[in-house]
Chain A
Amino acid sequence: MTKTTILDVQVADGADDKYRLKMGPQHPATHGVLRVDLELDGETIDKCDPQVGYLHRGFEKLAEHRTYAQNIVLTDRLDYISAMANNVGYCVAVEKLLAIEVPPRAQFIRVMVCEMARISSHLLWLATHALDIGAMTVFLYCFREREVLLELFAELCGSRLTNTYTRLGGVRQDVTHSIMLKLQRFVDEFPGHIAEYETLIDTNRIWLKRTIGIGQISADKAVDLCLTGPSLRGSGVAYDIRQHIPYAAYNQMDFEVPVGETGDTYARYRCRMEEFRQSNTILRQCIERMPPGPILGKDAPDLIMPAKPGRKLEFDAVAGNALIKLIDNRDLYMAGDVYVATEVPKGELGFYFISDGMGRPYRMHIRSPSFLHIGALATIGQGVMIADLIAIIGTLDVVLGECDR
């Protein structure tokens, strides 16, 4: 075998060399703009090298130039199919940093919107995952239910996708009787819809052939690869932040964490289907036990005034340049750093803040589950067939908006 070198890169020209295929970034099965560089031996993948960064918008840097309240808008665009869960995760982290208390009603509403986001995200996952593997009908049925949830979001906060619903110290809008009535109807009907999806694919022999034994990850390896969420639980590790480090009102909810055994694509599929049911019971509990009271804490900072909780400012002080001077004031907040993780539909979403006391974060780091799941793809994707790689990308449930940030 001879090799020529062009610009220090070895170029294959032998007959027995590997075939190099660049899958993506416009490939419809890569869920966005993921490019996977493959080295193929026939149809088997010898080396799988995911390339990210096509959707990079520099959120971590942008956050350093905006106040804590303004950054809520950025979190909508991380995992854009479960924006509510990101909003809650961000606010829980900032509230811990700034020591802001959240009233119980707001905590319940947060759990409610989180679970609605989880159902809507899992529905989109099931729809696209099934479509990748070849089941078209499930796609349409999933979008039927997702539409109900998105419309509820629109009624709740005025936007279907980029919600910007939570505020530091609470939430923006209270729920209404009409929203809760519609949600109650959804919660009553949804188990029937889950049964419909399962009729279509659960025992379908094509589905079983494409999922059982594909992308198998042992429990140890899944922990080593930093998998979280249903992708980890499919391998038999019962780790769910909602139960282990409860935030919002999750410690008052009765629910179970579904855990798979085999760690293959089918186990992760079953985990997520079971999470549908668990989320549904959490929603039911939220509706039944919604406490009365305010939705914004007493010491919640104003959207525009980055003041110490409880301190009032004159109206003129916040206009124009005065505010910029105020934000740069280093004794506004406590200095320090904090890492808070929350369970979003994809896995563990963590926010790490370094505060130097100013009205905006000195540094914001986002630990996004999708980024680490794509990192794991290099290991899981080795030695599988190309068609199975599509199933594996689908089962890891990655969203490139969150991965590239």
Chain B
Amino acid sequence: MKVQYKAKRNLLETILQVEILQGLALTLRKLFSRPITRQYPDEKPPMYAGFRGQHALVRDPVTNDSKCIGCMRCATVCPSRCIHIKTHPGDSGQRLIDQYAIDVLRCVFCGYCVEVCPVGAITMTEVFEYASYDREAIYFDQEILLANWDRFLEQTGYDDTYVNPFWRPRGGLESRLPAAMRRDVPADWTIEGQFVGTKIRQPPACKLITDTEAAHD
């Protein structure tokens, strides 16, 4: 496809500077339209569930401590290797956490740690305003991470039923998820309630083999 050019301007248009006037008319029109600028510190941008912001360790309401089981999956999958975990074996073979720290200045906010956590212990909150003048304040240890979670719940008004798309990815198969992640989610997060186009091209006709038929074979 050849690109189309607009017609060359004629002498009259050249003298009257029509194209400049058209541009100015557009600018003038916009002068009376509603401004779209967001006055940032006063007006916050909209936040959506699953925003990859400040890290937090979920506080378990039963034990009043972190849910972390020390499986090291987050520390292993982290592309920037910014999660530092130290554990020691407990009495019944479980791992007890000595240290759980995130060096946020090295973090790339990919969300992999939340994605692989089998118990939903770590999460990323919708908080993004936590810049600091010193490095120590952005090195999160376990206490700070738990406090981040408390503050997040307090600020946003979520309670323990809070679930985000990290733990329960939209459109993900429930069978692929660990038991702790099979939680109640909005209808269009599930594969049954997903968005489907209105004009789907029909696939070529072929005989569908149902499960019962396959079992007979």
Docked-complex contact A199 and B26, CB < 8 angstroms = yes
Docked-complex contact A155 and B1, CB < 8 angstroms = no
Give every chain A residue within 8 A of B82 (Cβ-Cβ): none
| B-side interface mostly | loop
CA distance A259 to B9 in the complex (A): 23
- List which A141-166 residues lie within 8 A (CB) of chain B: 144, 147, 151, 154-155, 157-159, 162, 164
When C-beta atoms are compared, the residue in chain A nearest to B170 turns out to be A174
Docked-complex contact A199 and B22, CB < 8 angstroms = yes
Docked-complex contact A173 and B71, CB < 8 angstroms = no
Chain B 11-45 interface 0/1 with A at a Cβ cutoff of 8 Å (1 = within): 00010000110110011000000001000000001
Docked-complex contact A175 and B51, CB < 8 angstroms = no
Say whether, besides A158-B51, A318-B76, A176 and B3 are in contact (CB < 8 Å). Answer: no
Give every chain A residue within 8 A of B64 (Cβ-Cβ): none
Chain A 290-317 interface 0/1 with B at a Cβ cutoff of 8 Å (1 = within): 1111111000000110000000000100
CA distance A273 to B198 in the complex (A): 29
Docked-complex contact A157 and B50, CB < 8 angstroms = yes
When C-beta atoms are compared, the residue in chain A nearest to B71 turns out to be A319
Contact among B19, B73, B189 with A205 in the assembled complex (CB-CB below 8 Å): B19
CA distance A286 to B72 in the complex (A): 40
Give every chain B residue within 8 A of A199 (Cβ-Cβ): 22-23, 26
Chain A 248-280 interface 0/1 with B at a Cβ cutoff of 8 Å (1 = within): 000010001111110000010011011000000
Docked-complex contact A289 and B200, CB < 8 angstroms = yes
Contact among A69, A154, A270, A320 with B5 in the assembled complex (CB-CB below 8 Å): A270
B94 within 8 A of A: no
Docked-complex contact B36 and A144, CB < 8 angstroms = yes
Docked-complex contact B76 and A304, CB < 8 angstroms = yes
A363 within 8 A of B: no
The total number of A-B Cβ pairs within 8 Å is 161
A21 within 8 A of B: no
Docked-complex contact A200 and B23, CB < 8 angstroms = yes
CA distance A295 to B170 in the complex (A): 9
Docked-complex contact A204 and B19, CB < 8 angstroms = yes
CA distance A198 to B4 in the complex (A): 12
The smallest C-beta distance from B11 to any residue of chain A, in angstroms, reads 13
B196 within 8 A of A: yes
Docked-complex contact B171 and A70, CB < 8 angstroms = no
CA distance A15 to B197 in the complex (A): 71
CA distance A144 to B36 in the complex (A): 8
The smallest C-beta distance from B114 to any residue of chain A, in angstroms, reads 10
Give every chain B residue within 8 A of A205 (Cβ-Cβ): 14, 19-20
Chain A 55-75 interface 0/1 with B at a Cβ cutoff of 8 Å (1 = within): 000000000001001111110
B111 within 8 A of A: yes
For B3, B110, B124, B170, which residue has the most chain A Cβ atoms within 10 angstroms?
B3
CA distance A291 to B75 in the complex (A): 36
The smallest C-beta distance from B5 to any residue of chain A, in angstroms, reads 7
The smallest C-beta distance from A219 to any residue of chain B, in angstroms, reads 13
Docked-complex contact B112 and A176, CB < 8 angstroms = no
B48 within 8 A of A: yes
List 14 A-B pairs, Cβ < 8 Å. A105-B171, A144-B36, A154-B51, A157-B50, A172-B115, A174-B194, A176-B189, A176-B195, A196-B26, A289-B197, A289-B200, A291-B196, A294-B191, A303-B116
Residues of B at under 8 Å CB distance from A?
A: 1-6, 9, 14, 19-20, 22-23, 26-27, 36, 45-46, 48, 50-52, 71-73, 75-77, 79-80, 108-112, 115-116, 118, 124, 165-166, 169-173, 176, 188-189, 191, 194-201
6 closest cross-chain pairs (CB), A and B: A174-B171, A290-B197, A174-B170, A256-B1, A203-B19, A70-B79
